[in-house]
């Protein structure tokens, strides 16, 4: 009976995401048979949950739209995911640490004992890596304001500080993207007639406009891909003992996608890009540039040029050692 109840609870949590799944897909997720899944669906229906059977192509089972789940329905995996998320979110959102701690304590109290044990087993301490260059923690109110405008499809008016003087923009916000510990907004700028990838830590939203807009197709059909390949997304060169730059024979979108954190990418031509970055040593910086496997020109400063020559000598010696 306990096994049946735990399985039904997990089935209910799967339905809670709103997807329509076949009996075979549900059986695969639960690690059981189709017959058992159908029996568990019957159990949930007997308990008053409206489980709809959708016929035709793309059909299956789903939770009825009028059905409300209990306040907290977690299986063990969801309990762990929630505990980790609530402990790590303060590293990217400011003013939320106390609220996240209270939310985690509340969830622990509401969870079944078995789920709570799994959640409490994951106590996370965050440490910064040398290659991680997060933005300052984002104001939670900023994320809330922009996120609300996205969900309601309302224009958002913001003050934005990029590489130049602050400007006031009216944007069509489409998606928030967190990449490399930094928050970005993918938005269309009607006045400039172009898409923008913008650092959320550099914008300050005005009061809501309540002005609707019609959604557009994001470039590449994916806001994440758009942000990752946008060379002008507002990143800045991090402080390193050694900093230099070179022009690479690669498109800016390619360099932007694979550039190390804390580097800047500048468009030169359709096929060339200026990359500025840093490292702990000049040979380390030279090696990072070599990972792009592209021709380089306009290398600065001279210390970086010397480091590339030194690496060439070392590689030549390794490939052709002197006979003794």
Fold of 138-229: SH3 type barrels. (2.30.30)
Q: What pLDDT score does 168 carry? A: 94
N-to-C CA span, the chain = 77
Q: Which residues of the chain have a pLDDT value below 70?
A: 1-5, 16-17, 58, 65-76, 88-99, 102, 106, 108-116, 118-136, 162-164, 323-324
**CB of 48 closer than 8 Å to CB of 87:** no
d(CA 116, CA 55): 38
Q: What pLDDT score does 47 carry? A: 75
- The domain at 2-63 falls in which architecture? Orthogonal Bundle (1.10)
Task: Give this prediction's pTM.
Answer: 0.64
Q: What pLDDT score does 118 carry? A: 65
d(CA 21, CA 62): 7
Domain locations along the chain: 2-63, 76-120, 138-229, 242-319
Fold of 242-319: Alpha-Beta Plaits (3.30.70)
Q: Which residues pair with 22 in a beta bridge?
A: none
H-only helix segments in the chain: 2-15, 23-30, 34-46, 76-88, 97-110, 113-120, 140-152, 223-229, 252-258, 282-290, 302-319
Q: What pLDDT score does 98 carry? A: 65
Q: What pLDDT score does 5 carry? A: 64
SS3 assignment, position 209:
coil
Strands across the sheet containing 167-179: 194-199, 182-189, 167-179, 156-160, 203-205
Q: What pLDDT score does 116 carry? A: 67
Q: Any residues with CB less than 8 A from the CB of 23 and at least 6 apart, and which?
A: 34, 37, 38, 60, 61
């Amino acid at each position: 009976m306990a096994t049946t109840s735990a399985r039904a609870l997990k089935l209910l949590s799967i339905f809670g995401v709103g997807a329509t799944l076949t009996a075979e897909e549900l059986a695969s997720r639960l690690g059981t048979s189709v017959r058992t899944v159908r029996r568990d669906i019957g159990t949930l229906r007997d308990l008053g949950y409206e489980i709809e059977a959708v016929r035709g192509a793309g059909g299956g089972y789903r939770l009825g739209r009028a059905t409300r789940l209990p306040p907290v329905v977690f299986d063990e995996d969801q309990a762990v995911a929630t505990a980790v998320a609530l402990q790590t979110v303060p590293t990217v959102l400011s003013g939320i640490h106390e609220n996240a701690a209270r939310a985690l304590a509340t969830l622990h109290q509401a969870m079944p004992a078995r789920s709570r044990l799994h959640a409490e087993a994951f106590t996370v301490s965050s440490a910064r890596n040398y290659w991680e260059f997060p933005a300052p923690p984002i104001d939670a109110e900023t994320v809330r304001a922009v996120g609300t405008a996205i969900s309601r499809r309302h224009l958002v008016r913001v003050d934005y500080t990029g590489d130049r003087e602050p400007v006031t923009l009216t944007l069509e916000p489409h998606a928030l993207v967190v990449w490399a510990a930094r928050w970005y907004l993918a938005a269309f700028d009607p006045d400039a007639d172009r898409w923008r990838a913008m650092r959320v830590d550099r914008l300050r939203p005005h009061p809501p406009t309540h002005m609707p807009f019609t959604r557009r197709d994001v470039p590449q059909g994916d806001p994440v891909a758009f942000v990752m390949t946008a060379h002008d997304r507002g990143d800045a060169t991090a402080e390193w003992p050694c900093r230099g730059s070179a022009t690479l024979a690669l498109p800016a979108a390619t360099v932007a996608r694979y550039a190390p954190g804390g580097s800047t990418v500048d468009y030169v031509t359709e096929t060339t890009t200026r990359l500025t970055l840093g490292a702990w040593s000049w040979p380390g910086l030279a090696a990072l540039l070599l990972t792009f496997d592209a021709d380089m020109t306009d290398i600065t400063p001279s210390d970086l040029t010397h480091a590339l020559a030194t690496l060439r000598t070392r590689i030549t010696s390794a490939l052709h050692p002197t006979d003794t």
